[in-house]
Structure 1
Amino acid sequence: MDLLSFVVALVAVLIGAAGQRMIGMGWGLVVTPAVALVAGPLAAVLVVNLYGAIACLVILPRVWHDIDWRRLLWLLVPAVALMIPGLLLAKALDTDLLRVVVGVIAVAGVLVTMLITRSARRVDGPGVRIAAGSAIGVLNASVGMGAPIVGLYSLVSHWHDRTFVATMQPFWALVSGIIVAVRPFVAPEGAPDWPLWAWLVVAVPVVAGVLLGDRLAHLVNREVVRWAIIGLSIAGGIALIVTGGIALVS
């Protein structure tokens, strides 16, 4: 295991966990490109979902009373239904091609989000929620990048209040937990070749990031945090596109 790459992954986990607590997103946007770059896209799916579920479970007691259970079910059911196809897609694609796909999704998701932010029109309803949940299920299971779809849905539906932050915690805990549980039976390949101590160490920035985000949630400007996460997502996505593209043409 390359130590420098592992440190990069730890920093990404810390930032992603803090962002997840502060604004309800940021985990997948930051951690997936970083881990995919240093350990491979298949490894990123496992790492992002495993520790993402842990991060959300740590956050959950703090936001329990603000959860929108009705909207949670609208997103969760189609997300769970499309997980198996997503895992099979990841298993079928070439590793370097998958790396490029993750990068493109990261960058495109951010750019579309920025464009939609300018629109004042609210778009929501059962169809939109089912479509969003389905896309999240496929993308999170295949490339660990369901987060951009969550961002898009929150923007088009104008769902920006504290219930969004709260509802995303049980949503990601369940989605990620189920993916981790079924992955060994559908796509067991691609787990990071880390020693036991490394798996335990990664849990430290997860908890530290949540605690840091909890302390800063009421102090920092949410838009500043959002734009910081957007910048990191674009940088990580471009890095994945470049490395995957070079490997494909070489």
Structure 2
Amino acid sequence: MDLVSFVVALVAVLIGATGQRMIGMGWGLVVTPAVALVAGPLAAVLVVNLYGALACIIILPKVWREVDWRRLLWIAIPALVLMVPGMLLAKGLDTDLLRVLVGVIAIVGVLITVAFTSRARTHDGPVLRLATGTAIGVLNSSVGMGAPAVGVYSLVSGWQDRTFVATMQPFWVLISGAVVAVRPFVAPEGSPDWPLWAWVVLGVPVVAGVLLGNRLAHLVDRTVVRWAIISLSVLGGAALIVTGAMGLLG
């Protein structure tokens, strides 16, 4: 394990957990590219989902009363159904190619999200919710990057209030928990060969990020946090694309 890359992953986890608590997203966008650099894209899916579920479990008691359970089910059911096909997709792809794919998804997802921010009209309904859940199921289980689909949906539908932040916590507990539970049977070779101390240390910024997010949720301008996450996601995605491309060319 490269120590510098691991430290970068620790910082990304801290930022991702803070953003997840404050604006309901940011975990996958920030953490997946960083962890993929350390453990590879296939192993990153397990790591991102495992610690993402942990972060959301810690956050959930604070926001339980504001969860929109109906909308949660519309999105979560198709995401769960498409989980195994997404894992099989990741299992059949070349590692470096998958690395490039993760980077492209990160950047394109962020750019689409930013583009939709300027739209004045909002749209929502069963078709959009089912499509969002389908995209999340495939992307999250294959490359650990379902967050862009969530971001696009929240902007297109205008769902950016406190219930969005609250609903995303049980949603990711369900989706990420299912990926962690099913993955050993579908892609058992995808677990990173890390020493025990690395798994323990990586949990520290998860807890710290949630606690920091609790303190800052009502004090910091969420627009600033959002743009910080967007910037880091683009940089992380670009780093993945370069790393994967070098592997493919080499």
Q: What TM-score do you get using the length of structure 1 for normalisation?
A: 0.99
> How far is the alpha carbon of 1:114 from its aligned partner?
1.2
User: Paired residue for 1:193?
Assistant: 193
Unaligned 5+ segments in structure 1 are none
What is the TM-score of this pair, normalised by structure 2?
0.99
Give 1:190 deviation, angstroms: 2.4
Range with greater deviation from structure 2 (12-21 or 194-203): 194-203
RMSD between aligned residues: 0.6
Matched residue SS, 1:14: helix
Residue 6 of structure 1 aligns with an amino acid whose one-letter code is F
1:93 matched to 2:93: yes
Give the aligned residue type for 1:120. A
Inter-partner Cα distance in structure 2 for 1:55 and 1:49: 10
Which deviates more from structure 2 when the two are superposed, residues 187-196 or residues 161-170?
Answer: 187-196
Runs (4 or more) in structure 1 with deviation over 3 Å come to none
AA partner of residue 128 (structure 1) = L
Give the Cα separation in 1 of the matches to 2:190 and 2:75: 28
Amino acid at match of 1:27: W
Alignment of 1:141 onto 2:141:
yes
Q: 1:41-76, CA deviations, whole angstroms, 9 ceiling, x for partnerless residues?
A: 011101100000000000000000000000000000
Structure 1 partner of 2:41:
41
How many residues are aligned here? 250
Give the secondary structure class of the aligned counterpart of 1:189. helix
The residue number in structure 2 matching 1:219 is 219
The equivalent of 2:78 in structure 1 is 78
Q: Which runs of 5+ in 2 are unaligned?
A: none
Match of 1:159, SS state, is coil
Matched, 1:32 2:39: no
Per mean C-alpha deviation after superposition, the further-off stretch among 64-73 and 33-42 is 33-42
2:52 pairs with 1:52 = yes
Tell me by how many angstroms 1:237 deviates.
0.5
State the identity as a percent.
77
Cα distance in 2, alignment partners of residues 197 and 106 from structure 1 = 29
**Matching residue of 1:203:** 203
What is the 5 A alignment of 1:98-247? 98-247=98-247
Aligned partner of 1:18 in structure 2 is 18
Question: 1:136-185: CA deviations, max 9, x gaps?
Answer: 00000000000000000000000010000000000001100000000000
